[in-house]
Amino acid sequence: MDEKFPLIRGQNLLDDISTANKELLRKKLSAGGFSAISTTYAEDLCDTSDYAGTRLVQKYGRQVGLQRYNELKLKVQGDSARAFEQAKKDEDPFGIQMLDSLRERLRVRTTSDGQLYGYTTEHLEGLAYSLTSQCKVVWSIKHPWEEK
């Protein structure tokens, strides 16, 4: 494995793993009531999770690595949906309550699920933020980022 740069056969693995739109992520987290400090931390977790995803592809090969990465994303998306349903209120923001619920779900998952391929609770949280920037996870009912 190349420790310096995640390449397989000349291809940059970040093209398959990193899809985060940081500007959109910031807007969505702000709508959910996240502070600037929490938003910066979320961006860093997103980057850390992307790196862990490239390591999966390096370790298992492109096809199996991406399959495992997508399996983890699906688990986190499900946990995020359950956290959203538990925390949602008619009035925003409720993102911090949702985050507390999601973190608890991720802690339980990391202690009970043997199929995480080396991902930590923080890596899984980073996946939730990547999914946020892909419009698969939301932290608020209102969507001010859609307003023109």
Question: Which amino acid is present at 33?
Answer: G
Is residue 128 classed as helix, strand or coil in its secondary structure? helix
CA separation, residue 134 to residues 18, 40, 108, 118 (Å):
11, 18, 25, 23
Condensed to tens digits (0 to 9), the pLDDT of residues 66-104 reads: 999 999 999 999 999 999 999 998 776 899 999 999 999
What is residue 90's predicted lDDT score, i.e. its pLDDT?
76
What is residue 144's predicted lDDT score, i.e. its pLDDT?
78
